[in-house]
Structure 1
């Protein structure tokens, strides 16, 4: 569609757009016309492919673009994702764009997950989006690094997860902000730890757990809550090392303390420290009856 602007002259040849169902074969054909695109981000391709397979693909203005010479100048990640997912999707295909626009493609600020949550009216969106992302990583790749290409989580998936369980995520963020004042861990790590333990514990038990962590009052020396409160004192800090404890380690320590509190008879000598090289992420122990 061409929109005429008063007082301006239309160019001799306008770009043309149309909606096409791009199959894996068509995607391969389009990619054969690729000569100037950026280096492929495998993680982004995988994330887009997984979104397609989950049925989360949506038709937007972002599609595939060719210049006047028929060279692909935008959309290579979407095309590779279609091939990897082996699933056709509808998208806009633009033809006849100016040959000199490639340097200005995708130079705007990317929409963050916190931006995506803006429409929900939720508070503390940056913390909320980080919490949701790491809860999803805990469920998807608990024993792999939570950084790099494999750890990419799409904004759509974060928004969908929030809409499915918004009350518990909101509560986790609130607890994370408050409880992190008393612990070594970040607000995000505490929120994630709280969220995943709420799935296996009745509210009354969680209240006892949280109140003990907040006050530390009248806790026995062997109480796991006291041990968790004292992690900073027991964690050696090398003045020459500026490496921060990673999110997986922080969440793991929180869960280890939880498990030792739920099943003190199995805790043995509790050691709250970073995950070992081959150590797996602990899973929260379920509270099956009133303690």
Structure 2
């Protein structure tokens, strides 16, 4: 269906589900004469989900005023054009123009909220680890937030890599024993290190947590000292720097090389695990 029907003389809005093509989206956007500024990241996020077939009809509607003005949905319509696919969308017409002031007033549901609704254990930690693993896989190894995964992309990653559940467990247990490293970074590092050596990764984070059975000069002792010193001196350590600490420690352990200090300037290149 390509025709938008707008009620002319009724106060009751009309609702229908339509297959919105890029051509129809472009036509409707010509009626977008009174709206907020576009957020390019939102368009990109929506478009990736649409192109990947992960967009779901969830009751959120494209909304039009009685005079045909587009009130809500400009980001979704731009995303349809960017993804170049037809997407089923709910369309509401016949709304009073002033209702636009009340639209999008609620708090956006996060990936952590979605996983919590699924009944996932440690939903917030799970979501934050998935986000950083996804960013790492995209080449954003310093977690600069150039591209943030959507909830659908996080869910797809978890389905593809169910072993991430184990990384969440490791992150939680390590944090319970040693609260000086972010759980999201511990879980991300565990997953990445496990790709190299699963057993070594488990041993590594057990020792990060308890510091036991380590001789003087052991890299994990240097790591523990560094992050405890950072905390004692109230240094704000960004996530990518914590990740670099763990990678430098891992590489030293893997090469059986003693390490007395962990150094990683915030602007230094990210080391790669070996």
TM-score w.r.t. length of structure 1? 0.81
Q: 1:213 to 1:271 in 2, by over 3 A?
A: closer
Aligned length: 265
Partner SS, residue 138 of structure 1: helix
Q: 1:116 to 1:177 in 2, by over 3 A?
A: same
Corresponding position of 1:223: 218
Matched, 1:156 2:152: yes
Q: 1:13 to 1:152 in 2, by over 3 A?
A: same
Rounded Cα–Cα distance in structure 2 between residues aligned with 1:115 and 1:236: 30
Corresponding position of 2:263: 272
Rounded Cα–Cα distance in structure 1 between residues aligned with 2:126 and 2:231: 30
Rounded Cα–Cα distance in structure 2 between residues aligned with 1:202 and 1:143: 21
Partner SS, residue 217 of structure 1: coil
Structure-to-structure mapping, 1:240-251, within 5 angstroms: 244-251=236-243
Can you give the 5+ residue segments of structure 2 that lack an aligned partner in the other structure?
1-8
8 Å contact kept, 1:253–1:273? yes
Rounded Cα–Cα distance in structure 1 between residues aligned with 2:53 and 2:33: 30
The alpha-carbon deviation at position 275 of structure 1 amounts to 4.0
Corresponding position of 1:284: 273
8 Å contact kept, 1:44–1:152? no
Matched, 1:253 2:245: yes
The alpha-carbon deviation at position 143 of structure 1 amounts to 3.9
Rounded Cα–Cα distance in structure 1 between residues aligned with 2:230 and 2:69: 56
1:83-142 deviations in whole A, cap 9, x for unaligned? 222222121222111222101111122112122113432211111111111111111132
Can you give the 5+ residue segments of structure 1 that lack an aligned partner in the other structure?
1-10, 286-291
8 Å contact kept, 1:260–1:270? no
The alpha-carbon deviation at position 258 of structure 1 amounts to 1.0
Matched, 1:53 2:48: no
Rounded Cα–Cα distance in structure 1 between residues aligned with 2:228 and 2:123: 31
Corresponding position of 1:81: 79
Rounded Cα–Cα distance in structure 2 between residues aligned with 1:143 and 1:165: 19
Rounded Cα–Cα distance in structure 2 between residues aligned with 1:66 and 1:134: 38
The alpha-carbon deviation at position 49 of structure 1 amounts to 1.0
Structure-to-structure mapping, 1:1-291, within 5 angstroms: 12-143=10-141, 145-147=143-145, 150-166=146-162, 168-180=163-175, 181-182=177-178, 184-203=180-199, 205-232=200-227, 235=230, 244-264=236-256, 271-277=262-268, 279=269, 281-285=270-274
Rounded Cα–Cα distance in structure 2 between residues aligned with 1:153 and 1:48: 10
Q: 1:23 to 1:103 in 2, by over 3 A?
A: same
TM-score w.r.t. length of structure 2? 0.86
Rounded Cα–Cα distance in structure 2 between residues aligned with 1:18 and 1:215: 59
8 Å contact kept, 2:61–2:92? yes
The alpha-carbon deviation at position 46 of structure 1 amounts to 0.7
RMSD over aligned CA atoms reads 2.5
8 Å contact kept, 1:45–1:77? yes
